């Protein structure tokens, strides 16, 4: 029994070791995200292609809704839309849930239209989950990872004042929230103990 438990723990450790971690450095702080390499292979591969190309460096969070999500990865500081690669197939039918702290692909109304833009859920958003392949609403949005460190940064972004800035009529942060870089890292740093008295 003891040997079996050790084997299971060892396998779990290996599975965790296989997950890719990225560090998203923003003007508000760092966000560490663990990707679902095995469960969402094509979505992760697409995201990492943009990461490795340096595509996200200098982009912004252009859409922020405090009761919903923060969205970025498609516009520069002048709110100019960036040119992307071809759209990918929606893997939301793998049924990963849009829970607080998960990262998912943004898309147009067409289910298979995601390119580079992503969003981080700031609360559980069950309405975004895959429930069938009948139409754009039921297809849902593909979750491909989750924040393992830096949700305080996500929440700082979540609560910034927003308003209208062309070409958007609402939900644009009044303060530019820049994504300085996104890089693959070995792991997130060990969280420091709070030493404040």
In a domain, 37, yes or no: yes
Q: How many domains does the chain have?
A: 1
Q: What does the radius of gyration of the chain's CA atoms come to, in whole angstroms? A: 17
Structural domain of 46: 19-185
Question: What is the domain-level CATH number for residue 71?
Answer: 2.40.100.10
> Beta strand pairing status for 118-121 and 21-26?
unpaired
Residue 9 domain flag: no
Q: What does the DSSP assignment read for 17-83?
A: HHS-EEEEEETTEEEEEEE-TTTSHHHHHHHHHHHHTTTTTTEEEEEEETTTEEEEEEEETT-PBPP
Query: Can you give the pLDDT of all 197 residues of the chain as single tens digits?
Result: 455 434 434 444 444 457 999 999 999 999 999 999 999 999 999 999 999 999 999 999 999 999 999 999 999 999 999 999 999 999 999 989 999 999 999 999 999 999 999 999 999 999 999 999 999 999 999 999 999 999 999 999 999 999 999 999 999 999 999 999 999 999 888 765 433 43
**Residue 190 forms part of a structural domain:** no
Q: Is 10 contained in some domain?
A: no
Q: Is residue 5 part of a domain?
A: no
pTM: 0.88
175 within a domain of the structure (yes/no): yes
Report how far residue 116's alpha carbon sits from residue 84's, in angstroms, rounded to the nearest whole number: 7
126: in domain: yes
Residue 164 domain-assigned? Answer: yes
């Amino acid at each position: 029994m003891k040997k079996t438990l050790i084997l299971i723990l060892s396998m779990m450790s290996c599975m965790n070791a296989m997950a890719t971690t990225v560090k998203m450095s923003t003007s508000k702080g760092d966000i560490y995200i663990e990707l679902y390499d095995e469960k969402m292979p094509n979505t992760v591969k697409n995201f990492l292609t943009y990461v490795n190309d340096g595509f996200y460096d200098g982009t912004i969070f252009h859409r922020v809704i405090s009761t919903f999500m923060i969205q970025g990865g498609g516009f520069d500081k002048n709110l100019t839309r960036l040119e992307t690669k071809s759209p990918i197939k929606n893997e939301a039918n793998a049924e990963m849930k849009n829970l607080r702290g998960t990262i998912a692909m943004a898309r147009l109304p067409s289910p298979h239209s995601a390119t580079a833009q992503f969003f981080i859920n700031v609360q559980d958003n069950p309405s975004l989950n895959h429930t069938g392949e009948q139409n754009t609403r039921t297809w849902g949005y593909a979750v491909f990872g989750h924040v393992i460190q830096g949700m305080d940064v996500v929440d700082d972004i979540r609560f910034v004042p927003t308003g209208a800035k062309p070409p958007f009529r609402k939900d644009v942060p009044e303060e530019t929230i820049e994504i300085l870089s996104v890089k693959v890292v070995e792991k997130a740093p060990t969280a420091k103990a709070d030493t404040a008295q």
